[in-house]
């Protein structure tokens, strides 16, 4: 059975994308592996490689996950030394933590398993970053959250948004 590499994410609109790009570009020289503009996103839940015939079931279960609007403030630049990524992140508002918990429960019902690491909202800006990046001063970016997306990662191609769920759109579509 072929597999598809999937994750749930907040996918930025053009305004938020431009805001992320402006902050990413404050770090211009931290590595050569800058995440391209079109791939910038914030992962909510990484599903990994799933059998291709499960995408329908994953989307069907996600239909029952309610989204409440909230605002996510991205106010810091950080670094995960093991993953070697520099990121733009912030503290999750309660509604966003609930969304991630609900997505996890929904996917657990499909017998998908996840690591136990807590959700740390971040947009990866650069990969292969071997040293702590500088921390330039910048204006926080307020991201109004009103939905989430199921996204596919195919090696060597831009991430592909398969489907988006928005506030008030619970139910079959």
What are the tokens at 132? Answer: 């702590």
The binder of ligand 2AM chosen from 52, 60, 83, 167 (CB under 6 A):
83
Residue 126 vs 165, nearer CB to ligand 2AM: 126
Query: Smallest distance from the beta carbon of 60 to ligand 2AM, in angstroms?
Result: 22
How near is the Cβ of 171 to ligand 2AM at its closest, in Å?
27
Q: Which of 128, 60, 72 is nearest to 98 (CA)?
A: 72
Question: Which of 17, 21, 26, 43 lies at the binding interface for ligand 2AM (CB under 6 A)?
Answer: 43
Q: What DSSP line would sit under 83-103, residue for residue?
A: TTEEEEE-PPPHHHHHHHHHH
d(CA 4, CA 52): 6
Q: Looking at 30, 85, 86, 125, which residue binds ligand 2AM (CB under 6 A)?
A: 85
Q: Which of residues 110-149 bind ligand 2AM (CB under 6 A)?
A: 124
Give the whole-angstrom CA distance, residue 144 versus residue 167: 12
Across-strand partners of 76?
A: 89
- Candidate residues 25, 46, 110, 169; the one interacting with ligand 2AM per rule CB under 6 A: 46
Contact 37, 55 (CB under 8 A): no
Rg (CA), the chain: 16
Q: How many of the chain's residues bind ligand 2AM (CB under 6 A)?
A: 7
Rounded distance, CA 139 to CA 55, Å? 38
Per CB under 6 A, 160 contacts ligand 2AM:
no
Minimum separation from the CB atom of position 153 to ligand 2AM (A): 5
Q: Which residues bind ligand 2AM (CB under 6 A)?
A: 7, 43, 46, 83, 85, 124, 153
């Amino acid at each position: 059975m072929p597999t598809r590499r999937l994750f749930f994410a907040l996918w930025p609109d053009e305004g938020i994308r431009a805001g992320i790009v402006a902050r990413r570009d404050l770090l211009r020289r931290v590595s050569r592996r800058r995440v391209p503009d079109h791939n910038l996103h914030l992962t909510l839940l990484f599903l990994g490689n799933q059998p291709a015939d499960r995408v329908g079931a994953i989307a069907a279960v996600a239909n029952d996950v309610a989204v409440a609007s909230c605002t996510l403030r991205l106010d810091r630049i950080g670094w995960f030394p093991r993953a070697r990524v520099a990121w733009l992140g912030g503290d999750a508002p309660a509604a966003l933590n609930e969304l991630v918990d609900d997505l996890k429960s929904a996917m657990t019902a499909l017998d998908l398993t996840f690591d136990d690491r807590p959700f740390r909202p971040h947009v990866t800006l650069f990969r292969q970053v071997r040293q702590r990046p500088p921390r330039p001063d910048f204006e926080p970016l307020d991201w109004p959250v009103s939905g989430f997306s199921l996204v596919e990662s195919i090696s060597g191609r831009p991430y592909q948004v398969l489907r988006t769920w928005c506030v008030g759109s619970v139910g079959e579509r």
